[in-house]
Amino acid sequence: MSLPVVVLGAGPAGLTAAYSLGKKSVPVVVLESDPEYVGGISRTVKYKGYHFDIGGHRFFSKAKEVEDLWTEILPDDMVLRPRSSRIFYNGQFFAYPLKGIEALTKLGVLEATRCVAAYAKARALPNPSPRNYQEWVTNQFGSRLFEIFFKTYTEKVWGMKCTDISADWAAQRIKGLSLSSAIKNALLPQKKQPKDRKEVIKTLIDSFRYPRLGPGMLWEECARKVKAQGGTIEMGCRAETLDYSEDRGSWRIGFVRQDGSRGTIDGRAVISSAPLREVAKALEPKLSAEAVRAANALRYRDFLTVTLMLEDKNVFDDNWIYIHDPSVKVGRIQNFKSWSPEMIPDPKMTCYGLEYFCFEGDGLWSSSDEELVELAKRELEAIGIAKASDVKDGCVVRQPKAYPVYDDDYAANVDIIRREMEKRFPTLYPVGRNGMHKYNNQDHAMMTAMLTAENIVAGKRAFDVWEVNQDAEYHESGKAGAETLGLRSVPTRAAS
């Protein structure tokens, strides 16, 4: 029997790769460090009948192949949900994406005048070469709207100043929007979305599909299908060493189980959705000192969700709200009932998820679950959504390495690692968000996995997965513009 392909991680990328290979009768073994849940950051945690989405995942893609795969995996349990997000600022709710007229009206005449004046200045005298997030957003919305609707939340998420965040992230996350387009969108709400999903600005979609019991439902079904194909999924197993034999052309992966015991498995190839930093340092023979240095320089942002259960008083029906109040630490509040009512076991109750962005090991991360629940209750009351006494129960879910951090050197560091790995380890295939150190959505992760499976079946790298753009579209080499290397172009740090 031929050696299997070993897949590191049972998130969207890892399971998509395993499922795609299984359809081609390629044997696979998936190693997942979590002892209970598949799905990675797209898993759904269960607690006393409640279901929690980790971070919020809207199922919409411009890639038909991805949409078709979602339907294939979960044909009867995807529901259509309205998209609704708002910003909470100064005691008021503002639509997000911003609706220009609403925003200016709620801000009041004086503040609205300041915003329009700042926007007019930005349009008349735009920064010709925005090098950081603050400069890019100011170009699109003006300095005053940047201060109100972008600065506080963004700095909560990333734990760094907006002037230290690369402009490319803003360009991707807020692509196609400006104050003028926001006003136009508000004035013309009757305009239907284009039939061609490729013409849709993702930030403006008004509905999306969603598994009725959360995204983990889809990935749990995908895992079942992988096993039905003959694949193996080992839970609670974390890869420690990746030893490649050039003579044999195969791998020996050393892993540690949940109970501390160790084991090994041999494979013909490795598909890795594990964090690039750890994988680069686990390789044998070891990478060069330059590549190890580049790996050590990669950083990640972590977050935790404090879920609170309370009586439903219909305070808000958004999927989530962004908290633009610097007096509280919470950055975003999920409303799990709005994602799908079936995620709440009692229709009289609701469940909010308060998201706190942090670095693993800092004060928030190291706080006890009890301390975090009490903090979330106080902050829910401080912003006026509910009284602390209304909360009946709560729990905490921690998510390490949720977001690769974009600093000025990340693209160069990833490129150093990538090129050396491709040269020395021809059957190692990084996929997905953490595997490639690219902050993109699950459809992008899935597309990189689908193309990687095609490469393995073909026995050659017919597709360069680094050419998959943020919309999960594949570009032939040299035709992707700034994304020719599959990485967002990162400007140099703005002069102080």
pLDDT digits (tens, 9 = 90+) for 92-141: 888 877 777 888 889 889 998 998 899 999 999 999 988 888 999 999 88
Domain boundaries along the sequence of the chain: 5-42+60-74+213-298+407-483, 96-204, 300-404
CA pair distance 7, 89, nearest whole angstrom: 44
Q: What is the CA radius of gyration of the chain?
A: 23
CB 463 within 8 A of CB 455: yes
- CATH code of the domain occupying 5-42+60-74+213-298+407-483: 3.50.50.60
CA pair distance 355, 439, nearest whole angstrom: 18
Residue 488 is predicted with a pLDDT of: 41
User: What does pTM read for this prediction?
Assistant: 0.86
Single-letter code of the amino acid located at 210? Y
pLDDT digits (tens, 9 = 90+) for 18-31: 999 999 999 999 99
At 107, is the secondary structure helix, strand, or coil? helix
Per-residue model confidence as pLDDT tens for the chain (496 residues): 689 999 999 999 999 999 999 999 999 999 999 999 999 999 999 999 999 998 888 899 889 999 999 999 999 999 999 988 888 888 888 887 777 788 888 988 999 899 889 999 999 999 998 888 899 999 988 999 899 888 988 888 888 888 888 777 677 666 555 555 555 555 455 455 455 555 554 444 678 999 999 999 999 999 999 999 999 999 999 999 999 999 988 999 999 999 999 999 999 999 999 999 999 999 999 999 999 999 999 999 899 999 999 999 988 899 999 998 888 999 999 999 999 999 999 999 999 999 999 998 888 999 999 999 999 999 999 999 999 999 999 999 999 998 888 777 888 999 999 999 999 999 999 999 999 998 778 999 999 999 999 999 999 999 999 988 766 676 554 443 334 344 443 323 333 4
Residue 188 is predicted with a pLDDT of: 52
Residue 438 is predicted with a pLDDT of: 85
Question: How is the beta sheet containing 391-404 ordered, strand by strand?
Answer: 92-96, 85-89, 320-323, 332-335, 349-358, 300-311, 391-404
Residue 307 is predicted with a pLDDT of: 97
Q: Which of these, 70, 7, 38, lies nearest to 456 by C-alpha position? A: 7
Residue 409 is predicted with a pLDDT of: 85
Q: What percent of the chain has pLDDT over 70?
A: 87
pLDDT digits (tens, 9 = 90+) for 282-311: 999 999 999 999 999 999 989 999 999 999
Fold of 300-404: Polyamine Oxidase; Chain A, domain 2 (3.90.660)
DSSP character at residue 475: -
pLDDT digits (tens, 9 = 90+) for 445-456: 999 999 999 999
Q: For residue 136, what are its two tokens?
A: 């890019």
Domains 5-42+60-74+213-298+407-483 and 300-404 share a fold: no
Residue 493 is predicted with a pLDDT of: 39
Name beta bridge partners: 238: 256
77: buried, middle or exposed (CB in 10 Å: 19+, 13-18, 0-12)? middle
